Structure 1
Amino acid sequence: MNSHRHKLVSLSPWTFIPTLYFAQGVPNTIINTVSVILYKRLGISNQEITFWTSLLNLPWVLKMLWAPFVDTNSTKRTWMLTMQLGMFACLGLIALSLQLPNFFVISLVIFAVAAFISATYDIATDGFYMLALSSEQQAFFVGFRSLFFRLAMLFGSGFLVFLTGKLEIYLNNIRLAWMATFGLVSILFVLLFIYHRLVLPEPDLDQPRQKNINQEISFGIIVKSYFKQAKIIAILAFILLYRLGEAMLVKLASLFLLDPIEEGGLGLSTDTVGLVYGTFGVISLISGGILGGLLISRYGLRKCLLPMALALNIPDIFYVYMAAVKPYLLLVYPLVALEQFGYGLGFTGFTVYLLYLCKGEYKTSHYAISTGLMALGLMLPGAISGAIQKSIGYTSFFILVCFFTIPGMISIFFIPLEE
């Protein structure tokens, strides 16, 4: 058995890192982006869509609370495989639920379970990454982790939405088209489970950590040490407000593209939204993220953070223009792409600052707290965005979004940041 285990450990990370992080990105994209389009096409109101799908972020906000349980029970490998099977079941059940009269409530409950499974998979995968790879390999593959997660976004919000749009036309049945898509992704997770069951190494270090009596105390100490940082109020304001405008925009962007012109939207078809927002938009987002990393590595975070915040927020005005003018489709493509490119730049600066905050002996836990707060900063504005848009219309809503970007940019001048 040991020889078998060591043989597996010697496998190149190229055989499993791309697929592990692709499997991490697909559920995240489906739950946070594709679900919005699904419910819109099935006649749910913008207000209900934005509120309930925003609440699906809660497991990512709270995942640090059950991370110790994952750490002390079973192996990371077992957790990952179990969560992939769980995701297969959830996606299959969502597909079946779409034919029921009360599909909205039932599918939302299943999406919530899927979000919990996805967040748990994130914990196990990131832990496995550190146990299965050497320090040199971890440094080498860190960029590829992000790349394959982004490719999963492209697959989910681009290919799957485009495919569903074509199926809507071919089958002349919206529900059946979405059932087929979710069934397809469900099968994908069975294949991922089988593949990973065969190729994932079993590192000797991948063992449940021993529980000890100081564990709860240590968790309290970790949280206390995070909130004892210098200028913590400014740091919290920055984390919660930096993406305030974007958090509201991202929930309504695809709905705006789909809504008919008489309701203030652009009236695009499902497959066109898959191209405009899910394909060209995501490619632009990836490009912005790559450029952002290169700029920070060359000029440093202090010089780049404010320009990147401007790149994140200024393009929001494009949505004001599109809502007011209703431009031709050929102009919508570059406007959405430029907004997403700026989003990629701005999000890179934000991510690097969260890493900058991770100092001392609790780096991993501090980063988990920061990302949980980040998810909270996305969830709360997203939850109320639909109600605001419904009451004031798309043009006024996007103008308001532009004003909501200001507090986050102001907070940059108060946070601790040294080169």
Structure 2
Amino acid sequence: MSTPSRTGALAGSTLLLLTALYFAQGLPYGFFSQAVPVILREEGYSLTQISVYGLLFAPWGLKFLWAPYVDRYATRRRWLLATQLTSAAVALVLACLDLSGTLVWMLIGIAVINLASATQDIATDGLAVATLGPRQRGPGNGIQVGAYRIGMIVGGGGLLWLFSIAGWRTLFVAMSVMLFAVTVPVWFLVGRSRLGRDADAVARERRPSPALLVTGWLQRLRRPGVIVFIVVVGAYKFGNSMGSALVGPFMSDIGLSLGQIALIEGALSSAGALAGAALGGWLAFRFGRRSALLFGGVTQTLSLAFYLVAALGAGGFWIVVTASLAEHVLGGAATVAVFTLMMDACEKGHEGSDYTLYACAVVGVQGAAGFSAGIIGDLFGFPTLFGTSLILSGIGVVMMIAALDRGMGPAPVRALARTGSRPAG
């Protein structure tokens, strides 16, 4: 991969590598977070029970605990190869098991793959932050969010459709084959990346003792402005995460078939995810962080209104399609904007640890939002759920813009605020 350019252009090898890495994360996560809840709902589980199933995603919220080890031990290439091959191997093992009588082994497999994928994410984010210059982070996060969401769509919609016609065995074989395939760019490209090697060399030179690594994440958390930054990012994401957490069960409850859900969450939303990622990357690159966050946040909030209309019984099938497309396009743009800001907030030499800390906060917020969605949905119904999420999303946008305008957050973010949230060169 090449040195970051002042124009913000990304080399072809960088595009390929980031696409492969983030697709590899999104594929199993999409199946486990989107398709499995639909399957559980079909089996008669309550919304609260489905939300508790989200505890299996704990590694995504706790990975900051071992992020300093990934930053400081071995190389990113080794971490990436080991974790992706582990996920592919576990999926292949699940394909060899009989899952028709019990879901216990699948749940164990989900836990192991989540642990491997979460660790892969630490190395991937560290590599991305070290490789991308400030002007490249908007387009780079567009690639990140686009590839990740496409992976989620293939996993959530495509694999759900495959399960509906062929069952568990074929589903996990397909997942394993795709995970093995996207490991190939890691093998060839990361080892040839000068920036990747340089970042690993810096990590080895600054390697602390194991005792210090145990509290390394706490030292990153105690930097000036970090806690308020995490609170603001969490508020920005909470409302939308609550609204989108139970979209699959909502579609099932209003009578859509597995095939229809797979179509909406798969093929139709793929174009929306790509458009949203491209829109968010372009906004962050062209107009700066603040404008991208404002536009993405406001439109993401308004997109929840479509789900509210559908929950009230109006519009039929096509309002659900519209709601899903709006969520992927506008939610994708907002996600790119906030992830770009999170990259800006990372300190050189601690890219993986810092970004992981922020990402874990987002995952924790999404988990709390999903659990809240389950309780509100069970007690008051989907209209109340979507209405509440719309209001909270709007409040989060106001908090984010106010924080940027007042110069809150880590030093790099405050510096961006002084320049209108547009990085130089």
State the TM-score, normalized to the length of structure 2.
0.78
Which of 364, 375, 378 lines up with 1:387 in the alignment?
A: 375
Q: Does 1:29 align with 2:19?
A: no
Partner of 2:294: 306
What letter corresponds to residue 123 of structure 1 in structure 2?
I
State the TM-score, normalized to the length of structure 1.
0.79
Whether contact under 8 Å (2:248, 2:261) holds in the other structure is: yes
Take 1:16 and 1:238, find their aligned partners in 2: how far apart are those partners? 31
Take 2:71 and 2:296, find their aligned partners in 1: how far apart are those partners? 36
Partner of 2:109: 110
How big is the shift at 1:238? 1.2
Partner of 1:245: 239
**RMSD, matched Cα:** 3.5
**What runs of 5+ residues in structure 1 fail to find an aligned partner?**
1-10, 168-175, 260-265
Partner of 2:5: none
How big is the shift at 1:93? 4.1
Whether contact under 8 Å (2:250, 2:382) holds in the other structure is: yes
Identical columns (%): 24
**What runs of 5+ residues in structure 2 fail to find an aligned partner?**
1-11, 408-416, 421-425
Take 1:197 and 1:284, find their aligned partners in 2: how far apart are those partners? 27
Whether contact under 8 Å (2:306, 2:319) holds in the other structure is: no
Whether contact under 8 Å (1:301, 1:353) holds in the other structure is: yes
Report the number of matched residues. Answer: 389
Take 2:268 and 2:370, find their aligned partners in 1: how far apart are those partners? 23
Take 1:300 and 1:85, find their aligned partners in 2: how far apart are those partners? 38
Q: Does 1:368 align with 2:356?
A: yes
How big is the shift at 1:115? 0.3
Partner of 1:229: 224
Relative distance call for 1:20 and 1:406 in structure 2 (3 A) is closer
Matches within 5 A, 1:10-409: 18-53=19-54, 55-95=55-95, 99-103=99-103, 105-127=104-126, 144-165=143-164, 167=165, 177-192=167-182, 195=184, 199=188, 202-203=191-192, 205=197, 209=204, 212-214=207-209, 216-217=211-212, 220=215, 223-224=218-219, 226-230=221-225, 234-259=228-253, 266-359=254-347, 362-409=350-397
What letter corresponds to residue 63 of structure 2 in structure 1?
K
What letter corresponds to residue 281 of structure 2 in structure 1?
G
Relative distance call for 1:191 and 1:224 in structure 2 (3 A) is closer
* Higher alpha-carbon Rg: 1
Relative distance call for 1:211 and 1:360 in structure 2 (3 A) is closer
Whether contact under 8 Å (1:96, 1:179) holds in the other structure is: yes
Task: Tell me the alpha carbon deviations over residues 383-415 of structure 1, each in whole angstroms, 9 at most, x when there is no partner.
Answer: 232222111122222222223324313322541
Take 2:250 and 2:75, find their aligned partners in 1: how far apart are those partners? 44
Take 1:360 and 1:12, find their aligned partners in 2: how far apart are those partners? 23
